[in-house]
C-alpha cells in the first residue's frame, strides 16, 4: 500500500528503519480524539465501506459523506472534533472559518460554536453562495460574516479528493478583501493522487495556493484503527476489505 506524505510508503507492514508493525505504532501515537472521531464517523454512518463510484470515476472501497451528520448531538460532536484539530494544528491566530457551500456551511457554524465553548475565542463564520443574492440587507455573494481587510481565514471542508472546491472558492475569498488564508482543515485525508497523478489533493492545494493543509484523520489512521477490530459491535475492516483497500492504494495511492 502506498500512502500520501506523512503516511506509509512502500511496504505496508513496516516503517523504514523499524521492525515494529506500523499499526501498533500508529495506535500508540494516535491522539485519543482521532480514534474517537474514526469511530464516530462509522457510528454516524458517514464513513461507509463497500464499492462506490466517485465523481472522478474511480471505484473506491470506501466513501465519506458529511451530509449524514443530521442530529443535534452529532453536529455538536462534529464541531468539537474540528475545533480540536484546528486548535492543535493552527492555534488561535485566526478570525474567520470559511466553509464552501453547501456542506461547508454547517461545518463552519458548528465549529465556530465549538471553538467558543472549548477555547473561549469568538471566531466568525462565512460561506459563499452558489448564486448571488440581489436583495435584502444581506445581499451579495456570501453568508454570515463579511470578510474584512486583515482577516486571517481558515478554510473548512469535509473531504478533498481533487481540490475543485478550492479552485472555486479561493479566488472568491481573496477577491472579497485583503485576507490571509492560514490553512485548510478537512475531516479525512483520502491519501490518493490528485490531478497531477503524483501528490495527494491536500499537497497539491498547498503547492498551488501556498497555505497549509491538514486533516482530522488520514485514511492510514482509519485502517489501522479499524482493521480486525470491533466498532459498534462488528468488525468494520476485515481481511477481505483490507485487501480491497490495499489494491485501491496500489493503483491510486499518492507517491
CA neighbours within 13 Å on the CB side: how many for 65? 12
Q: Residue-wise over 120-151: b if at least 16 C-beta within 10 A, else e?
A: eeebbbbbbbeeeeeeeeeeeebbbbebeeeb
- 84's CB contacts (< 8 A; 6+ apart) are 33, 118
Return d(Cα 106, Cα 127) in angstroms, integer.
9
Q: Considering 16, 55, 130, 135, which one is annotated as catalytic?
A: 135
Rg of the chain, C-alpha, whole Å:
19
Return d(Cα 48, Cα 112) in angstroms, integer.
27
Q: Considering 133, 139, 146, 229, which one is annotated as catalytic?
A: 133
Using DSSP's 3-state secondary structure scheme, residue 77 falls into helix
Pairing of strands 140-144, 234-235: unpaired
| Residue that the C-alpha cell 492545494 belongs to | 205
Residue 204: which H helix or E strand, with range?
A: helix 201-209
242 is catalytic: no
Return d(Cα 47, Cα 65) in angstroms, integer.
7
135 is catalytic: yes
> Which residues are annotated as catalytic?
133, 135
Amino acid at each position: 500500500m502506498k500512502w500520501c506524505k506523512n503516511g506509509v510508503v512502500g511496504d505496508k507492514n513496516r516503517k523504514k528503519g523499524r521492525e515494529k508493525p506500523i499499526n501498533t505504532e500508529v495506535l500508540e501515537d494516535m491522539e485519543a480524539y482521532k480514534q474517537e472521531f474514526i469511530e464516530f464517523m462509522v457510528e454516524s454512518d458517514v464513513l461507509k465501506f463497500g464499492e462506490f463510484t466517485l465523481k472522478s470515476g474511480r471505484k473506491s472501497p470506501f466513501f465519506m459523506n458529511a451530509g449524514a451528520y443530521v442530529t443535534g448531538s452529532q453536529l455538536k460532536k462534529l464541531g468539537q472534533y474540528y475545533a480540536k484539530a484546528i486548535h492543535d494544528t493552527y492555534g488561535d491566530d485566526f478570525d474567520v472559518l470559511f466553509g464552501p457551500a453547501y456542506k461547508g456551511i454547517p461545518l463552519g457554524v458548528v465549529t465556530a460554536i465549538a471553538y467558543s465553548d472549548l477555547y473561549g475565542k469568538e471566531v466568525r463564520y462565512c460561506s459563499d453562495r452558489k448564486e448571488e443574492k440581489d436583495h435584502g440587507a444581506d445581499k451579495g455573494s456570501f453568508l454570515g460574516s463579511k470578510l474584512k481587510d486583515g482577516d486571517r481565514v481558515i478554510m473548512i471542508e469535509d473531504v478533498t479528493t481533487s481540490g475543485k472546491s478550492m479552485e472555486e472558492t479561493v479566488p472568491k475569498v481573496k477577491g472579497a478583501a485583503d485576507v490571509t488564508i492560514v490553512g485548510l482543515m478537512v475531516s479525512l485525508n483520502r491519501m490518493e493522487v490528485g490531478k497531477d497523478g503524483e501528490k495527494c489533493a491536500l499537497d497539491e492545494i498547498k503547492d498551488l495556493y501556498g497555505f497549509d493543509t491538514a486533516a482530522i484523520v488520514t485514511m492510514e489512521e482509519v485502517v489501522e484503527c479499524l482493521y480486525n477490530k470491533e466498532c459498534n459491535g462488528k468488525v468494520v475492516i476485515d481481511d477481505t476489505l483490507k485487501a480491497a483497500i490495499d489494491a485501491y492504494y496500489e493503483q491510486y495511492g499518492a507517491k
